[in-house]
Amino acid sequence: MQYGENPGGVATFLTVVVKTRFEYPMRWLLGLPMEPPVHALAVVCLAASTILGCGGTHSATPALSSGGTSPVAGAGVGGNAGAGATGSGGATVGGGVGTTGASRASTGSSIEAACGPAPVGSFARCTKNPLLRAGATTADGRVELSIGDPDVFFDEDEGVWKAWWSTGVAPAFSAPDAQIQMGIKYATSQDGATWSVQQALTIQAEPGSGAWDQLKLETPSVVKIPWNPSERRYLLAYAGAQAQRTVDLGTSQLGVPWYQLGVAFSADGKTFARLPAAESPYANASTGFSDVAGLVLLGKDAFPDLPDVADGLLADPELVVDGDTVHLFFSSMPVNAQMQPLAYGVSHATSKDGIHFTPQPNNPQVSGAAQPSVVKDPSSGVWELFYVSDTDQEKATEPSTFNPFLGVFRSTSPDLSTWSAQPAQRYLTWDPNAPGEVYGLIAAGDMALREGIHRYYYPGWSSKDVPAGFVCPLRDGSYPPAVIVLDLAIRR
């Protein structure tokens, strides 16, 4: 399918997750009073012809394309807690005692020792699931509301697994939006199963600053740039939003946070500083933002050969370093001057410095796809793209209404430009019998590949050891006690 086409017509599914509230989606979308008035995350489900059902249709065969996403962000905010109780920030969690020191124990056998055998050709859930649990209390007494958008990789230099995820902290789960601060958490692990979580956020939104990312700062992707100076060794890409924009869906108008993409740097991955405003590609441009620190790509510039593009929503960045090039994959939705969606899917841009990105031809390159995760199989040299692409009917099979997804598809590429068609079957699928998936999965997770074992880290719902006041919105209108957790599945 070429750009500009919408699989399934205008009713194509576009998801936008607003990571500040957590309410029953249809009542929220229709502006009706919430009963009960639960908060913490919110989901906005966009379909070009309907917003009912929080879903849509996907293309049966996303295009083979050359060059390099979806108007959507992954699931929302993060934290952890000890088993059976609300934990304290910085504690080691995941069902075991963490190890310290320079031991390089992160091998395929160590993850199998922690999680059980990795089957060939199918996924097995880690026996330690859930690895992390929302509800931790921060040093200043606030609560971490959820876990979302995990990004995980093995640091070859240090022999340690590292993870970052979106989080929101507030005085309580029921706190109003104005009291929720969004940011990115950080954790390390020797085996990828038992994690030690840093209490402090690595970076956070600054509400009221007027910056392009004052409202939202989420969906992290982190890589190490070997040629950068030491103080900029770690590169973080994230989605940010200053305010909402109104999208014309044909039969209705819908306000959504208008996500764009930014970067920040760190010497150690523990604390990130935004790209200085003077170095932003938009430093001298008329953007309407009082502060462009961190800003590297606006939606209006992400679709170089798509006609009639006036703006665009960009989210879910995924960074990949190949040789001397930084590749950026992201969810995307271009719109015209009337704010009508023109397409959606996974788009692609490249950079030599992690600051100036060149969008690739035919964006969005993988139509109908969202929330990309990219790894390389060293044994074959083939690149693998994992992504979400669900229909309304598929989403309706999960009990939760909060940003559900059925699993991830896998496409491959020899060059990070041309991708194979979407397969008939998902690479990983929701397991309703898994303890951390009782009410469904939460879009979406991150794939890591090391020593022949695929590791998929993803958020889901658990009904056990739920912190007081935490709930899950179900399709029947009920709100049973539940907490968002981080799960792991492995396969050879």
Sign of the Cα torsion 280, 281, 283, 289 reads negative
Determine contact, residues 343/3, Cβ cutoff 8 Å. Answer: yes
Q: In this predicted structure, what is the pLDDT of residue 109? A: 65
Q: Which residues of the chain have pLDDT under 70?
A: 1-109
The reported pLDDT for the residue numbered 174 is 85
Cross-strand partners of 474: 400
Would you call 284 exposed, middle or buried from its count of C-beta atoms within 10 A (0-12, 13-18, 19+)? Answer: exposed
Q: What is the pLDDT of residue 173?
A: 87
Contact present, 348 and 68 (Cβ < 8 Å)? yes
What residue segments make up the domains of the chain, in order of their start? 9-491
How many CA atoms within 13 Å lie on the side-chain side of 81?
25
- Residues 230/322, Cβ–Cβ less than 8 Å: no
Nearest CA to 226 out of 235, 218, 238, 217 is that of 235
Domain 9-491 has CATH 2.40.50.140: no
pLDDT tens digit string along 164-211? Answer: 999 999 999 888 888 888 999 999 999 999 999 999 999 999 988 999
pTM: 0.82
| DSSP β-ladder status, 295-297 and 325-335 | unpaired
Report d(CA 299, CA 304) in Å as an integer: 10
